[in-house]
């Protein structure tokens, strides 16, 4: 008996490095056995992706996205305001596939397809920044500069390693900026090189070592890094050692909130899930349990 009645399998022709025919061969036979009606649709632009999600979104049980974080971000912003939203499943077909890692989806495509069929449907929080939405992270400063400084040739040849290469270049030239923000409970002012609002804990495949980050708790984790020196990153790496969200640290501020308003001395480009489309100031909120997604039932992130 089929597990799902009607599903849309959506893939972006330009996502990732490997041959799309190979990706389809590795996944479609596994999925089709468990879905009564499986619609397979190729898109070439983000506009096509947006229109496809809008057209099919309320009339399918399951949306399967074969692509990277950019494709996922486009799909999210297309269906998040629908009255009836499908369950969303991710097949990691991009460069970093960060939110699929958060859901513990295997990075091997046949295993990921099996995880979709046998995984758990869970309620996932969605971040909202003014009129746009994000699943994984919202960031300004170093995180945005890193995305903007990625060399496309390196990205094509080295994949996720290109983010690390860009980060090394960016840190060496980081400049601080002035900010003011208001959370549920406090007001923060100062200088920073990076501000990140986190719903997931992977950026550029690298895990942010903060134990409180969860896309299911109705809260967003806010991380402020004041300087781009070694002390900042030592403190960050120490944050997985049972340090609470409100412990005092010299170079890093970390707290949780449901709502945040933020302004900067100069307008800063905002990176949401790897897409840079808006600028500060911004008001950020969390929509608790807003999306249903599939996570692995075995916690396997095989590569």
Return the active site residues. 275
Contacts of 32 (CB under 8 A, 6+ apart): 38
Token pair 């809008």 is at which residue? Answer: 54
Q: Within its chain, how far is the Cα of 290 from the centroid?
A: 15
Q: Alpha carbon of 137 to those of 178, 208, 216, 276: distances in Å?
A: 21, 11, 14, 12
Max CA-CA distance within the chain? Answer: 59
Within the chain, residue ranges assigned H as helices are 20-32, 46-56, 69-79, 98-102, 109-118, 142-148, 152-158, 161-171, 230-237
Which one-letter DSSP state was computed for residue 246? T
Q: Alpha carbon of 65 to those of 13, 35, 86, 173, 201: distances in Å?
A: 12, 15, 12, 36, 20
Length, in residues, of the chain? 303
- 119 and 294 Cβ atoms separated by less than 8 Å: yes
Structure tokens, 85? 């939203």
Q: Within its chain, how far is the Cα of 94 from the centroid?
A: 12
Q: Alpha carbon of 204 to those of 1, 150, 166: distances in Å?
A: 39, 11, 10
């Amino acid at each position: 008996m089929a597990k799902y009645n009607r599903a849309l399998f959506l893939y972006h022709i330009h996502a990732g490095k490997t041959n799309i025919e190979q990706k389809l061969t590795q996944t479609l036979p596994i999925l089709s056995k468990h879905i009564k009606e499986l619609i397979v649709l190729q898109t070439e632009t983000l506009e096509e992706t947006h229109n496809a999600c809008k057209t099919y979104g309320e009339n399918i049980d399951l949306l399967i996205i074969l692509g990277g974080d950019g494709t996922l971000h486009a799909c999210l912003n297309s269906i998040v305001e629908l009255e009836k939203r499908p369950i969303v499943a991710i097949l990691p077909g991009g460069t970093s596939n960060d939110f699929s890692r958060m859901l513990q989806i295997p990075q091997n495509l046949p295993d990921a397809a099996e995880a979709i069929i046998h995984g758990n449907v869970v309620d996932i929080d969605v971040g909202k920044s003014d009129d746009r939405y994000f699943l994984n992270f919202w960031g300004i400063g170093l995180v945005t500069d890193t995305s903007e400084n990625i060399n496309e040739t390196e990205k094509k040849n080295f994949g996720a390693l290109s983010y690390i290469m860009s980060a090394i270049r960016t840190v060496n030239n980081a400049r601080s900026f002035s900010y003011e923000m208001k959370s549920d409970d406090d007001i923060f002012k100062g200088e920073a090189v990076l501000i990140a609002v986190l719903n997931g804990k992977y950026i550029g495949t690298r895990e942010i070592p903060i134990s409180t980050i969860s896309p299911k708790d109705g809260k967003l984790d806010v991380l402020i890094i004041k300087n781009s020196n070694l002390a900042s990153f030592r403190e960050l790496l120490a944050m997985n050692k049972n340090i609470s969200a409100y412990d005092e640290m010299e170079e890093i501020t970390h707290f949780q909130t449901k709502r945040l308003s933020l302004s900067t001395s100069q307008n800063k480009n905002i990176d949401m899930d790897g897409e840079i489309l808006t600028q500060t100031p911004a008001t950020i909120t969390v929509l608790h349990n807003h999306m249903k997604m599939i996570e692995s039932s075995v916690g396997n992130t095989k590569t």
